[in-house]
Amino acid sequence: MPSNAIITILTIAGYFLLLLGISYFASRKSDNSTFFTGNRKTPWPLVAFAMIGAAISGVTFVSVPGMVVAKGYAYLQMVLGFIVGYFLIAAVLVPIFYKRNLISIYGYLEERFGAFTYRTGAWFFFISKMLGASVRFLVVCVVLQLAVFGPLHLPFELNVIVTIALIWLYTVQGGVKTLIWTDTLKSFCLIMSVVLCIYFISQNLHFSFADMYKHVTEHPTAQMFFFDDPKAETYFWKQFIAGVFMAIATNGLDQDMMQRNLACKDSRESQKNMIVSGILQFFVVALFLILGTMLVIFLDTKGIARPEKTDGIFQMVAFHDEMPLVVGILFILGLIAAAYSAAGSALTSLTTSFTVDLLGAHKKHADDKLARVRKRVHVAMSVVMGLVIIGFYYLSNEDAISAVYTLASYTYGPILGLFVFGLFFKKPVHDKLVPVVCILAPAISWIIQWWLNHAFGYKTSFELLLINAGVTALGLMLLTIGKKQPSAKEA
């Protein structure tokens, strides 16, 4: 058996045993409330540290270091927007969700608009999270296929089945409470892995800390701000503004992320968690980009050709003959820490949303029956995710980080539009027609994106999300025509 495969198997086995131990202790005396909300007793500093890891998936771990080749540190422009987005989530959304004591955040849409809008928001979240989580986890499965399953002549389908089964096993009982504790472990492992990999690469290149700082800051890949070309994807204001609204859409309006924030005991503590975790995320992403520059310097110094697909740079250097064995172990540890936690949280949020929003099981069944329904849904979500991952494996060839945010721009746009309209415009709409607007909005946004490029050479980046949300809000405005404001008695 190849040494890389042995290293990977042993690292995964050790990490998974640790996960099972944490899951066991976190899920003792658990019930449906533990699974859905963590009983709302989790200290905010713990959630804030856990959220560092929650925001980083296997895609971030593999793809972000490689991004420096083509885009430098442009991603940090977007992360600066994330921080502003987190402040807005803390100020506007968190108090609303706590005031209504929501299990699923999409319950707000039912109160504001009606049952059709509520179901529409839940279905768009379901599609968004299933596709996004599958793309993220696909990156990890591909690495595992190259490192373990391929050398053992085992099919990709078995790879997916085994890894999804492991994730299901440690999330099935404890839900959100388990996720917060495993995300804490993940945050520690990710930060440790990146810092130590930077250290070992510096040692190999005989860099002191001052040498490393000089080489990184002077390297062409270290450019952070791009103000020169408004048409370019990396233009600062496009990245920054898109980052603000991407954070709101994929964190504040995402059941997966918000269910952790709603595990704090009250809105005040949840707000502290949101702001602190948003600021910390900037420094963690910066570490990944610094690692990316160090990887490029290593390849160039050694005269090694860069891989055609930049997602492979980290793995190439980690398992290079000149690197100590520990670097390969750190790469696998960071990768599986990111992947298992992200996929586990996605499964938990999908189970919560499907059980609560789409089935309405919390209103129909007592706790014992609700627990049985929830566990069956959890199995179904695992199966569907596995099938989607396999489908992406055979159909997709786009780089992963771009694929995730492109999908998010199309699928989170209607959700963002629904919440913005609901919060800032108090007019009632024709609830039954809302699904039509939300389905048409992504299609119209695609046409606008094509037209801007064809007519003006303007390349739309992640601001596609704003176009999509704006089209949705405009459509909702049209649905207010002929709709009377309910009287105080009816309201």
Tell me the pLDDT tens digit for each residue of 273-297: 888 888 988 998 999 999 999 999 9
Mean pLDDT confidence for 242-262: 80
Nearest Cα neighbor of 404 from 219, 139, 48 is 139
- Examine residue 404 and state whether it is found in any structural domain, yes or no: no
448 is a domain residue: no
Place of tokens 């929501």: 102
pLDDT at 181: 74
Quote the pLDDT of residue 490. Answer: 42
Domain for residue 251, yes or no?
Answer: yes
3-state secondary structure of 227: coil
> What are the backbone angles phi and psi of residue 73, rounded to the nearest 5°?
-100, 25
pLDDT in the model for residue 40: 61
The better pLDDT of the pair 294, 148 is held by 294
Which is nearest to 319 in space by CA: 301, 303, 339, 295? 295
Q: Residue 374 domain-assigned? A: yes
Instruction: Please state, in angstroms and rounded to a whole number, the distance separating the CA atoms of residues 130 and 338.
Output: 17
Of residues 212 and 488, which shows the higher confidence score? 212
Domain for residue 474, yes or no?
no
In a domain, 440, yes or no: no
pLDDT band at 488 (very low <50, low <70, confident <90, very high): very low
**What pLDDT is attached to residue 170?**
67
Q: Between residues 342 and 105, which one has the greater pLDDT?
A: 105
pLDDT digits (tens, 9 = 90+) for 64-104: 888 888 888 998 999 999 999 999 999 988 888 888 877 77
User: pLDDT at residue 486 above 60?
Assistant: no
State pTM to two decimals: 0.74
pLDDT at site 436:
95
Q: What is the DSSP letter of 457?
A: -
Integer CA distances (angstroms), 91 to 110, 248, 252, 255, 302, in order: 22, 11, 11, 18, 50
Assign 401 a pLDDT band (cuts: 50, 70, 90). low
Domain ranges, residue 105 = 3-395
Q: What is the pLDDT of residue 176?
A: 61
Q: Is residue 101 part of a domain?
A: yes
Domain total of the chain: 1
User: Tokens representing 221?
Assistant: 């890949």
Q: Dump pLDDT digits (tens) for 448-477.
A: 989 988 888 887 776 788 899 999 999 999
Asked if pLDDT for residue 205 goes beyond 60, the answer is yes
State the pLDDT confidence band at 485, using cuts at 50, 70 and 90.
low
- Express each pLDDT in 414-423 by its tens digit: 998 999 899 8
Name which of 349, 400, 329 is nearest 142 in CA terms.
400
Cβ pair 444, 471 in contact under 8 A: yes
Confidence of residue 32 (pLDDT cuts 50, 70, 90): very low
Over residues 329-386, the pLDDT tens digits come to 888 888 777 777 667 777 877 887 788 888 877 677 677 787 788 888 888 888 988 8
In a domain? residue 69:
yes
Give the chain's radius of gyration (CA, Å): 22
Cα(136)–Cα(64) distance, rounded to whole angstroms?
12
2: confidence class by pLDDT, cuts 50, 70, 90? low
User: Residue 351: its pLDDT value, please?
Assistant: 82
- The CATH number for 307's domain is 1.20.1730.10
> What secondary structure does DSSP assign to 354-398, as a single string?
IIIIIS-HHHHS-HHHHHHHHHHHHHHHHHHHHHHHHHHHHH--S
pLDDT band at 489 (very low <50, low <70, confident <90, very high): very low
Stated as kind and residue range, the H or E segment containing 61 is helix 58-71
